[in-house]
Chains A and B, each alone.
Chain A
Amino acid sequence: MIDREVVIGHELGLHARVSAKLVQLSSRFESRIRISRTDRVGMAEADARSILSILLLAAACGTRVRVSADGSDEEQAVFAVCEYLEGRADPRSGTE
């Protein structure tokens, strides 16, 4: 298992649209991916494939989260998810 901390870069935080894309992205990996808030506000930990749990993180722009993955493609998974959360993977066009 590996993990990495990242700061949410999307202007509106993890709202429905961004979360939906995050779920779609996470579903492409075999690894189990979890996202947790390090500041203990909101729900402690979310399953990156569950949109309802991601929404419950209530992570606004600038929130620091920890992304962890466990599985055969954990490295690629953490990399891709972090890149997306930071907003570097072009959120406007929706491609990752």
Chain B
Amino acid sequence: MTVVERRLTGVAASPGVALGHAVTSWDPEFVTLNYTLAPEDIESQVASLRESVEQSRRQLATMQGKLEQSVGGDSTTLIDAHLLILEDRMFVDRIVEKIREERINAEWAIQAVSNGILEAYDRVHDDYLRDRRGDLEDVVRRLLSHLRSYHPLTFDSLRYNSILVGHTILPLTLLELKSARLVGVVTETGGPLSHTGIIARSMNVPAVMGVTDVLPGLMSGELIIVDGDEGVVIRAPSEETLEDYRARVKEEVKTRRRRDRPTSAPCVTKDRISILLGSNINFKEEVDAAIANECEAVGLYRTEFDFYRDGSMPAEDRLVEDYSYVLSHAKTMWVNIRAVDAGMHGGLDGGTSAGARGLRFLLENRDLFKRQLRAIYRASVHGHARILLPFVSTLDELAEARQIDAEVRRLLTRGGIPFDDAVPMGVMIETPAAAQTCDLMASEADFMCLGTNDLIQYMFAVDRTDLASLQLYDPFHPAVLRVLKQVQSLVEPTGKPVVVCGELAADPYSAAVLLGLGYTRLSVNVGAYSRIKRMIRSVALGELRELAEALLKMRSRNRIEQRIRDTLAVGL
């Protein structure tokens, strides 16, 4: 069989290129990892496969029993079909054979066997039969979910140079697998502004998202290329392409080493203006990476991932541990701990539904909100905590949050629990309403963080997970420059600090424009820290101010972008 190189186009979500082995994922929750087994592990893999077959069978039988009682008779033959697949010699026996002969783990073997059968289905030109793929896929999912409980995902079960490929990949999965072995990420859905995209950038892992139909026929272990600069995934690369990309990877490692090397040089512009550059962190351990960069503050600690780590409501003590870890490691740095920004059920999908997000969600779920506030206060004795409220849009919401906060502190005092009573409380400016009224917000809040991702999204009415509308999300649009200018001018007279912590600050060109517009505090993901610091040290604020003035008078976003790139071509 001749294999032809195939290029699949998606959206560039995290820069860089990588060559590696595909690790495919069937379900957002289940990533099938592929690895070869040590001889002594083969039989235990076979045993856990058999055990998960047995569990699946019991589960299906129970379901069948219930259905028979409630519906009766013929309704359960589809479950029969699933049960028969589990008993089919073409299936389980072949999987066992594969584990033993090819010495591969059970997940991989299940996937290899079922892919083979599914491909045979696809070759048959019969629409009805093709729809039957679903039965087998269901059985596979069930098996994998049981297997997963035996072999929890850990990064050390990944092969070196693994590229995670999934329909959807949850941010948590990425965090679980965070290791030097993971070199690339590919998803069929989502885009650069989904949380998964943000985390990939923060981990400095190249990613291409929105690659439709990358999964069909893709085998775990297959060598693929991820080009996060061009937004392309290459399957079955030719020898020529491979050579080309090997050279690019090598080159990139060199550039990265130079560009991302932490520098202890002060964060000042060429004309000696000090800029505060903080780090955004997504989970508690990332504070250590922030410290390694010698950063000055944690401008944004997104707490959702740690909060929902166990998949359920965390105990207060566990939260206190998390926040104490971050604060004590951060030592003298202040940390903006953002209260959980989530909608329904973990809501970490990039926030398409704005209905009950951020502060609105917290006000509707007061027990959760109070628990988190108590935990932050109890941890506050270990460092310099600051509380940051997400997605605020009216002063009334803020006032309500203040009341709850006062109550939490009163109870802590009454209980004799020590805490820092002077923890400042700030708001995220990330809705157009908050941007328009940020001077009023400033009068009620101690500090502000400008969340550019959401702000731009809601300004253009863009769905962050819908790739078609994503091109409207344009940081160089005149509307964006104007709102940035407006917020800065409204807040400046109030004397309250504002930190820009959106993705805009992590792009050297946009960050330079922010400086030109008068912002002097930025906070960026750990992966971009050194890059932005180098940019700051290479520019003169006076020139950037002139540039910003000129940009504000321009009408075309293309001209704006061109002007920025022409002016700042050096050193970025």
Contact = CB atoms under 8 A, between A and B. Distances in A.
A56 B121 contact: yes
Contacts of B135: 16
Given A49-B89, A50-B89, A52-B91, A20 B84 contact: yes
A33 to B, nearest CB: 13
Contacts of A15: 128-129, 132
B244 interface: no
A43 B136 CA distance: 17
B124 interface: yes
B176 interface: no
Given A16-B78, A16-B135, A51 B124 contact: no
A13 interface: yes
Interface string B74-101: 1001101100110011110000000000
B112 interface: no
B90 A50 contact: yes
A13 B126 CA distance: 11
Contacts of A58: 124, 126, 129
Contact of B89 (A20, A47, A56): A47
Contacts of B126: 42, 58, 60
B80 A52 contact: no
B88 A20 contact: no
B124 A23 contact: no
A55 B135 CA distance: 11
A12 interface: yes
Contacts of A60: 126, 128
A21 B89 contact: no
Nearest to A92: B74
A32 B148 CA distance: 36
A19 interface: yes
Contacts of A52: 85, 88, 90-91, 117, 136
A51 B78 contact: no
Contacts of A47: 89-90
A24 interface: yes
Contacts of A19: 81, 84
B77 A17 contact: yes
Interface in B238-279: none
B80 A24 contact: yes
Interface in B114-130: 117, 120-121, 124, 126, 128-129
Contacts of B136: 52
Interface in A50-67: 50-53, 55-56, 58, 60
Contact of A17 (B78, B89, B91, B124): B78
Contact of B88 (A12, A16, A17, A51): A51
B482 to A, nearest CB: 60
A20 B79 CA distance: 9
B81 A17 contact: yes
Given A55-B132, A60-B126, A20 B80 contact: yes
Q: Which of A19, A24, A55 has the most CB atoms of chain B within a 10 A radius of its CB?
A: A55
A13 B124 CA distance: 14
Interface in B316-340: none
A56 B78 CA distance: 17
Interface string A1-43: 0000000000011011101110110000000000000000011
Contacts of B74: 94
Nearest to A15: B128
A47 B117 CA distance: 15
Given A21-B77, A56-B120, A50 B128 contact: no
Nearest to A49: B89
B88 A50 contact: yes
A19 B202 CA distance: 51
A12 B128 contact: yes
B83 to A, nearest CB: 8
A17 B73 CA distance: 13
Contacts of B85: 51-52
28 contacts: A16-B77, A16-B78, A16-B81, A16-B135, A17-B77, A19-B84, A20-B78, A20-B80, A20-B81, A20-B84, A23-B84, A24-B80, A24-B84, A42-B126, A43-B120, A50-B90, A51-B85, A51-B88, A52-B88, A52-B117, A53-B88, A55-B121, A55-B129, A55-B132, A56-B117, A56-B124, A58-B129, A60-B126
A-B pairs, top 3 by smallest CB distance, nearest first, are: A51-B84, A20-B80, A16-B81
Interface of B: 73-74, 77-78, 80-81, 84-85, 88-91, 117, 120-121, 124, 126, 128-129, 132, 135-136
Given A51-B85, A56-B120, A94-B74, 15 more contacts: A13-B128, A15-B128, A17-B78, A17-B81, A20-B77, A20-B84, A24-B80, A42-B124, A42-B126, A43-B120, A49-B89, A51-B88, A55-B132, A56-B117, A94-B73
